A and B are shown apart, each in its own frame.
Chain A
């Protein structure tokens, strides 16, 4: 099942896709390290992470089938 990774807003200018499947990894730090390896320009970007639609502020354990979203600051309204 792995991890479902979602990208939004200006982050998609870097990734060119809105969604991808990532091999399972133990926590969000490992996931981000992998994503930064694949998309180095993310390092210069301000973004937040959401794990299963909840904003997270620190490293979190992952389980198979989790969804992690990489989101730049909001600009609705």
Chain B
């Protein structure tokens, strides 16, 4: 349905819980939906060299992310029977405890929404040129590594 639309995924700073609630509410009008699946990534207070992480600062190759996401969206809409899919990733500084990633998939039946959501989170981490720099209490920084 909305697979051809260009979607900007970036959100400046943390993603507010209110936005997540509002986005769920917006789907009340789409009555062919029977299932939503949501993944929220939250910045964790890791400890690096004895210093606590207080925030992550995200940067990205935005143009490349947009081009890749357009292709990835097509693939997901072909693979899964999705009604819609919304993805938001933070740019800039996100403090510990705040939300930095919001993946929201909807379908008629639960399996498509759940599987697409889970695969999309892995795809984002693996395929999108985005980088996180962890900032510690003493202002030292460490570039984040994905497992």
Query: Among B58, B67, B100, B124, which residue has its beta carbon within 8 angstroms of that of A53?
Result: B67
Q: Is the CB of A74 within 8 A of B130?
A: yes
Q: Does A5 contact B (CB under 8 A)?
A: no
Q: Is the CB of A77 within 8 A of B101?
A: yes
Select from chain A the residue with minimum beta-carbon distance to B90: A76
Q: Does A50 contact B (CB under 8 A)?
A: yes
Closest approach, in angstroms, between the C-beta of B38 and any C-beta of chain A? 15
Q: Hey, what's the 0/1 contact readout for B126-142 against A, CB within 8 Å counting as 1? A: 11111111000000000
Q: Does B89 contact A (CB under 8 A)?
A: yes
Closest approach, in angstroms, between the C-beta of A4 and any C-beta of chain B? 11
B-side interface mostly: mixed
CB neighbours of B128 from chain A (8 A): 74, 76
Closest approach, in angstroms, between the C-beta of B48 and any C-beta of chain A? 14
Q: Is the CB of A71 within 8 A of B121?
A: no
Q: Is the CB of B130 within 8 A of A75?
A: yes
Select from chain A the residue with minimum beta-carbon distance to B144: A75
A-side interface mostly: loop
Indicate whether A74 sits within 8 Å of B143 (C-beta atoms), given known contacts A6-B61, A8-B61, A53-B67: no
**Which B104-134 residues have a C-beta within 8 angstroms of A?**
121, 124-133
Number of interface residues of A (CB under 8 A): 15
Q: Hey, what's the 0/1 contact readout for A41-77 against B, CB within 8 Å counting as 1? A: 0000000001001000000000000000101111111
Bound complex: CA of A73 vs CA of B132, how far in Å? 11
Q: Is the CB of B143 within 8 A of A9?
A: yes
Bound complex: CA of A69 vs CA of B132, how far in Å? 17
A contacts, CB < 8 Å to B? 6, 8-10, 13, 50, 53, 69, 71-77
Given contacts A10-B143, A75-B131, A77-B121, 14 further A-B contacts (CB under 8 A): A6-B61, A8-B60, A8-B61, A10-B131, A71-B61, A72-B143, A73-B146, A74-B125, A74-B146, A75-B146, A76-B128, A76-B129, A77-B101, A77-B146
